[in-house]
């Protein structure tokens, strides 16, 4: 219904020389402690954001979009991006840039703030008394696989691999690219995404990742609600108690709706790639510290 209404209104307003869009908001304008949803990619966040936005967001409080964030970082990145190493440098730069965007929105005193941004201990120390911070976690290996396949099917930014191919790729080419990415700093980044989103930076190596575990858990302790994708009912119940609302978190598989014959071939080829025993070993090694942190967080918050 929303899509049909939005299409009709867009058509009519564009004929008059205007652009219009529909965003979920809370029509009742009720006052409450604001909520910040830290959306870690491929942790079920689309469903969570829709449910929270519908109940909490006031007029003008739109989701912080990924594309303009990346474009802004690109404008400020004073280095040519050519190699995979350059792209990794950009990712680390971007992780720092988006913190300022979050701080800006927190200072607007919105009722609801959401997007793919990271937090730091300093941000949480400054704002956790004024906002309910909320996030949802997922098994790191499952999250990495899902994120890799999703990016390969949808990501138009070649500077943040994997991205959509400019021409159809064979299974061998898809597997070779995946090997190259997983065995690079980019693979390390993708494996340690949770740590970056909850501290503001990627760990440099395994030793650094281990040393950052306490920082991740300490920062999570400042969140009002922390959930895991494999226990959404518990997460939903705790959200309801904290925000004094009745959230209905559905399921929205954004990858399924994007499939065509080429995309389906890519997806199946990558599913087969990640099912290999040797790749599973690589993933477990890359995600070793994340897995440990995730299990500790799951034990602490899934109660």
Question: Quick one: pLDDT at residue 250?
Answer: 80
Identify the H or E element spanning 245: none
Which residues, 6+ apart, have CB-to-CB distance to 49 below 8 Å? 37, 39, 63, 114
Measured N-to-C along each axis, helices 140-154 and 261-274 cross at an angle, to the nearest 10 degrees, of 150
Which residues of the chain carry a pLDDT beneath 50? 1-3, 20, 23, 29, 257
3-state SS assignment for residue 278: helix
Identify the H or E element spanning 225: strand 225-228
Rounded CA Rg of the chain: 20
Task: State the Cα–Cα distance between residues 48 and 30, nearest whole angstrom.
Answer: 20
Question: Quick one: pLDDT at residue 248?
Answer: 87
Question: Quick one: pLDDT at residue 5?
Answer: 55
Question: Quick one: pLDDT at residue 23?
Answer: 46
CA torsion sign, 179 to 183 to 189 to 195?
A: positive
Burial code (b: 16+ CB inside 10 Å, e: under 16) for 198-208 equals bbbbbbeeeee
3-state SS assignment for residue 228: strand
CB atoms within 10 A of CB 91: 20
Ordered structural domains, the chain, with CATH:
34-301 (3.40.50)
Surface-to-core class of residue 54, CB atoms within 10 Å of its CB (0-12 exposed, 13-18 middle, 19+ buried): middle
Identify the H or E element spanning 76: helix 66-76
Cβ proximity of 293 and 216 under 8 Å: yes
Among residues 97, 126, 114, the alpha carbon closest in space to that of 55 is found at 114
């Amino acid at each position: 219904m929303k899509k049909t209404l939005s299409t009709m209104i867009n058509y009519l307003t564009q004929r008059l020389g205007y652009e219009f869009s529909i965003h979920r908001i809370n029509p009742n304008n009720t006052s409450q402690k604001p909520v910040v949803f830290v959306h870690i990619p491929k942790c079920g966040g689309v469903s969570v954001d829709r449910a929270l936005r519908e109940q909490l967001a006031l007029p003008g409080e739109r989701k912080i979009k990924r594309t303009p964030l990346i474009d802004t970082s690109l404008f400020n990145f004073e280095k040519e991006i050519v190699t995979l190493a350059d792209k990794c440098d950009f990712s680390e730069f971007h992780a720092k840039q988006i913190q300022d965007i979050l701080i800006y929105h927190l200072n607007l005193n919105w009722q609801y703030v959401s997007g793919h941004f990271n937090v730091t201990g300093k941000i949480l120390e400054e704002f956790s008394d004024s906002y309910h911070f909320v996030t949802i976690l997922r098994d790191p290996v499952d999250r990495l696989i899902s994120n890799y396949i999703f990016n390969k099917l949808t990501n138009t930014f070649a500077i943040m691999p994997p991205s959509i191919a400019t021409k159809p790729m064979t299974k061998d080419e898809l597997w070779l690219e995946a090997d190259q990415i997983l065995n690079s700093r980019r693979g390390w980044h993708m494996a340690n995404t949770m740590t970056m989103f909850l501290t503001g930076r990627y760990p440099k190596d395994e030793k650094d990742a281990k040393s950052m575990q306490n920082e991740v858990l300490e920062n999570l302790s400042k969140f009002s609600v922390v959930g895991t994708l494999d226990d959404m009912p518990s997460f939903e119940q705790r959200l309801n108690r904290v925000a004094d609302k009745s959230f209905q978190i559905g399921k929205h598989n954004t990858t399924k709706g994007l499939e065509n014959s080429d995309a389906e071939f890519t997806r199946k080829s990558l599913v087969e790639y990640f099912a290999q025993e040797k790749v599973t070993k690589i993933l477990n090694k890359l995600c070793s510290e994340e897995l440990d942190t995730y299990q500790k967080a799951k034990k602490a918050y899934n109660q």
